[in-house]
Chain A
Amino acid sequence: MTSALTSITRRARVRIDRFSRAARCVVVMAVLGACPTVACAQWIGYRTPGIPRTANGAPDLKAPAPRTSDGKPDFSGMWFANVPAKDYCKEKDCIQEERMAREQINIGIKLEGGLPYTDWSKEEMKKRREHGGRDDPHTYCKPPNFPRAWTLPQYIKIVQTPTLLVLLHEFNAAYREIYMDGRPLPDNPNPTWNGYSIAHWEGDTLVIETNGIRDDMWLDIQGSPVTESARVTERLRRINFGVLQVEIAVNDPKAYTRPWSVTIEMAVQVDTPMLEEICLDDEQDVKLYK
Chain B
Amino acid sequence: MHLTSNGRWSRLLAVAGVGLLLTPAAPAHHSQSEFDLRAKVEVEGTVTKLEWKSPHGRLYVDVKDEKGQTVNWNFELPSPTTLMRRGWKRDALKPGDYVKVAGAPARNYPAIAIATSIKDANGNALFTGTTQIYEPEPEPKASE
Contact = CB atoms under 8 A, between A and B. Distances in A.
Contacts of B23: 88
Contacts of A283: 55
A122 B85 CA distance: 38
A100 B26 contact: yes
Interface stretch (A19-27, A125-133, A201-209): A125-133
Interface in B1-55: 21-23, 25-35, 51, 53-55
Given A95-B130, A170-B81, A272-B85, A133 B30 contact: yes
Contacts, number: 148
A121 B140 contact: yes
B53 A152 contact: no
A263 interface: no
Contact of B128 (A95, A134, A272, A281): A95
A136 interface: yes
A166 to B, nearest CB: 20
B92 interface: no
Interface string A271-290: 01001111101111100111
A257 B129 contact: no
B55 A153 contact: no
B137 A153 contact: no
A34 B35 CA distance: 49
Contacts of B82: 98, 153
A95 B22 contact: yes
Given A95-B116, A282-B56, A284-B56, A122 B30 contact: no
A283 B84 CA distance: 19
Nearest to A272: B85
Interface in A82-104: 83, 85-86, 88, 90, 93-102, 104
A83 B127 contact: no
B57 to A, nearest CB: 9
Given A100-B27, A139-B31, A288-B108, A117 B55 contact: no
Contacts of A117: 140-142
B25 A44 contact: no
B140 A277 contact: no
Contacts of B127: 96
Q: Tell me the dominant secondary structure on chain B's binding face.
A: loop
Contacts of A258: 143
Contact of B140 (A105, A125, A139): A125
A104 to B, nearest CB: 5
Which of B25, B53, B55, B117 is packed against the most chain A CB atoms within 10 Å? Answer: B55
B79 interface: yes
B30 A285 contact: yes
Contacts of A221: 27-31, 134
A258 B144 CA distance: 10
Contacts of A100: 26-29
Interface string B95-135: 00000000000111100100011000000010111111010
25 contacts: A86-B25, A88-B132, A95-B21, A95-B22, A95-B117, A95-B130, A96-B129, A97-B132, A98-B82, A100-B26, A104-B29, A113-B143, A114-B140, A117-B141, A118-B142, A134-B31, A139-B30, A170-B81, A277-B54, A277-B55, A281-B55, A282-B53, A288-B34, A288-B109, A288-B112
Q: Which 5 A-B pairs have the closest CB atoms?
A: A133-B31, A132-B33, A98-B129, A282-B53, A288-B34
Interface of A: 44, 83, 85-86, 88, 90, 93-102, 104-106, 113-119, 121-122, 125-126, 129, 132-134, 136, 138-139, 141, 152-154, 170, 221-222, 257-258, 272, 275-279, 281-285, 288-290
